[in-house]
A and B are shown apart, each in its own frame.
Chain A
Amino acid sequence: MPCTKPIPYLIYVLLGLLLLSERALAVLDVEITHGFQSADPIAIVPFSWPESGQPPVDIAHIVRTDLARSGAFSPLEPKQLPERPTFNGPINYPRWKNTNAENLVIGEIKAIDQGHYEVVFKMLDIFTGKKNLEYRFTVKQSNLRRLAHQISDKIFLALTHTRGAFDTLIAYVSVNNNNSNSKKRIYTLAVADSDGFNEQIILRSKKPIMSPSWSPNSKRLAYVSFEKNRSMVYIQELSSGKRQIVAQYKGINSAPVWSPDGQRLAMTLSKDGNSEIYVLHIASGILQRVTEHYSIDTEPAWSPDGRSLVFTSDRAGKPQIYQVSIAQQGRSGTPRRLTYEGDYNAGASFSPDGKQLVLITRISGQFRVAVLDLGSRQLRVMTHSRLDESPSFSPNGKMLLYATELRGRGILEAIAVDGSNSPQRLRVLNGDVREPAWSAYRN
């Protein structure tokens, strides 16, 4: 289970936590493309703004979009709201009972001094009038979007008893593929809020960038860059931009993934002849070899307890998923095959509770996101697209994020793990986007 911290103390640490830059490029925009069946209706009134004009950030809109994207909620459209009560104003409950919403969120945003804002909100049960939540925050303007995601998290937790994963980050690679002249391609590694806004480029290169992977504290990324003409593994600190090469062996250096304790990186190296899985102890530089087979072994992913890895291997002829136990040092266990359905299963990673894997499976020539239940061994195909890649779970285990292709372009999509919604597209305004990686919780 995700941890459920006592909430109120967050209010006091918010100012200290919110350190993001003011650049809000918003290259990605969420496009809600389909409706929901089993989602809970909820009413979120646009936050009142005592001054003229518009507030700098439409918090209610961000919250509404977050909750809709999760598949768990079906927020009322603004035009469906029977009235727009202010934070301390009267509420005509009979009118709200005529909507199908069960909860009502009301808030206010006001400027307090140079660049700072006070935001208040509360959530009321429409049928009992009971106040379920009430918070007051003071934040810098540049942190208003993040605050909106934190409000989404509080509402999500209160109503679903599961920690929300809206105040998280995603990393992804994009390339401007407008022409096929590879000399003009520019690859970028970017980090954005979980809704795709606040995009910030952290690496730009004329050569391919691959496989971003978050450290467990969400402060560093490991990735593969070809900037020296062949694949090498780098670690980069987000706040400073400082980075180091951690693997530049002969052959392939690829697929880095952080261990849950943050001390080790599993990765694929071909320095000993062909692709094998290794574990690098970051501080000491010691390499621990995990696999030893003439086939391809790659795409390692840690189990949440850090005691095993799953990986892709074609030792049985076609790529399938295997699991191997990992000791702190010394020899690893004997790999055990996990997938038998179909002739192509690859790129697996664990759910946060360790009970499921998300992976790419091939069905009649189409590459799709599927969830494997490790208890029942049942494989559930989640998508209907043909070129899906790089799936991962949200930190609360409720959503999946992956890359796919739409009308010739790489895009990102998210879908609820329980199948309660259709794929939610993160629309890209330019370039081909790929390899999304969802960060851990940020605090």
Chain B
Amino acid sequence: MILQKMPVLLLIAALSFLSACTTTGDAQTGDASVEDRTGEAGNATGENTQGYEGQTGGYSESGMDNGTSVSGTQGGNGSLSDPNSPLSVRTIYFDYDSTTINAEGQSALNAHAEYLSLNPNKNMIIEGHTDERGTREYNLSLGERRGRAVADFLIASGVSAQQIEVRSYGEENPIALEHNESAWQLNRRAELLY
């Protein structure tokens, strides 16, 4: 396996990534607030009870445009932040009702697979998304199926399953809000988040 042959220098580079990056996690809980119907009774138990405004906790990166590099990451070979690197492709697009990864997507994923294999301490969240057509809950499952297709491709290319997490947003987080084919094309996607 590639991982075991990895030069020490790369390991160091990978560790420097780890310290330079912030990971997208479940840490923040401040993204929702409950309002009671009576205006009298108490707030939520155990959950965040503050107003949602002004709370910390960044939104997940799913609104990012295709090919935008993640700011704040640097070091190593500069590959993650290099706009000319194939790693700068962070969105994989799909045809309607399809989980097939096209040639363009495969070439981008090959680069990510190599990167993740060489950097076993790096993790990726794959967000699956659909267009708005059809029912929302079915689309949530379709989005997961797209995310899994990307994950399966990466794993088949040598990436450890432990480095990858699939999350689906279904049709809930569109890039384009219009109700036409050109918007739907942009929304049928998987986003790769480091």
Contact = CB atoms under 8 A, between A and B. Distances in A.
Interface of A: 19-21, 23, 177, 180-183, 186, 191, 200-211, 225-231, 236, 238-245, 251-252, 254-255, 268, 270, 274-275, 296, 298-299, 312, 319, 344, 346-347, 360, 362, 367, 387, 389-390, 405, 408, 434-435
Nearest to B44: A243
B133 A241 contact: no
A347 B137 contact: yes
A21 B25 CA distance: 38
Contacts of A206: 31-32, 52, 59
A347 B135 contact: yes
Nearest to A169: B37
Contacts of B148: 274
B138 A242 contact: no
Given A205-B32, A346-B138, A387-B132, 11 more contacts: A21-B38, A183-B63, A211-B137, A227-B31, A229-B24, A230-B167, A231-B140, A268-B140, A362-B134, A408-B177, A434-B136
B141 A387 contact: no
Contact of A319 (B132, B134, B145): B134
A239 B59 contact: no
B184 to A, nearest CB: 11
B34 interface: yes
Contacts of A186: 52
Interface in B40-73: 41-48, 52, 59-60, 62-63
B102 interface: no
Contacts of A183: 59, 63
Given A180-B176, A270-B144, A298-B140, A202 B39 contact: no
B129 to A, nearest CB: 11
A390 B136 contact: yes
A205 B167 contact: no
B148 to A, nearest CB: 8
Given A208-B172, A241-B43, A182 B136 contact: no
A230 B42 CA distance: 26
B35 A210 contact: no
B167 to A, nearest CB: 5
Contacts of A231: 140, 168
Contacts of B145: 274, 296
Given A205-B33, A405-B179, A226 B172 contact: yes
A404 to B, nearest CB: 11
B133 A387 contact: yes
Contacts of A254: 137, 140-141
Contact of A344 (B24, B44, B134): B134
Interface of B: 24-26, 28-29, 31-39, 41-48, 52, 59-60, 62-63, 132-138, 140-142, 144-145, 148, 166-170, 172-179
Contacts of A312: 135, 137-138
Contacts of A225: 32
Given A207-B31, A236-B34, A274-B145, A241 B138 contact: no
B52 A205 contact: yes
Contacts of A202: 34-37
Contacts of A252: 140-141, 144, 168
B60 to A, nearest CB: 5
Contact of A228 (B29, B137, B174): B29
A94 to B, nearest CB: 49
A268 B37 contact: no
18 contacts: A20-B37, A203-B35, A204-B52, A226-B169, A227-B48, A231-B168, A236-B44, A240-B41, A241-B35, A251-B166, A252-B144, A255-B137, A270-B144, A274-B144, A319-B135, A344-B134, A347-B137, A387-B133
Contacts of B134: 319, 344, 346, 360, 362, 367
Contacts of B44: 236, 241-243
B34 A389 contact: no
B42 A242 contact: yes
Nearest to B172: A208
A296 B138 contact: yes
B37 A210 contact: no
Contacts of B38: 19, 21, 239-240
Given A206-B52, A296-B141, A346-B134, A201 B36 contact: no
A182 B138 contact: no
B141 A268 contact: yes
B36 A251 contact: no
A346 B135 contact: yes
Contacts of A344: 134
A390 B138 CA distance: 11
Given A204-B33, A296-B138, A251 B59 contact: no
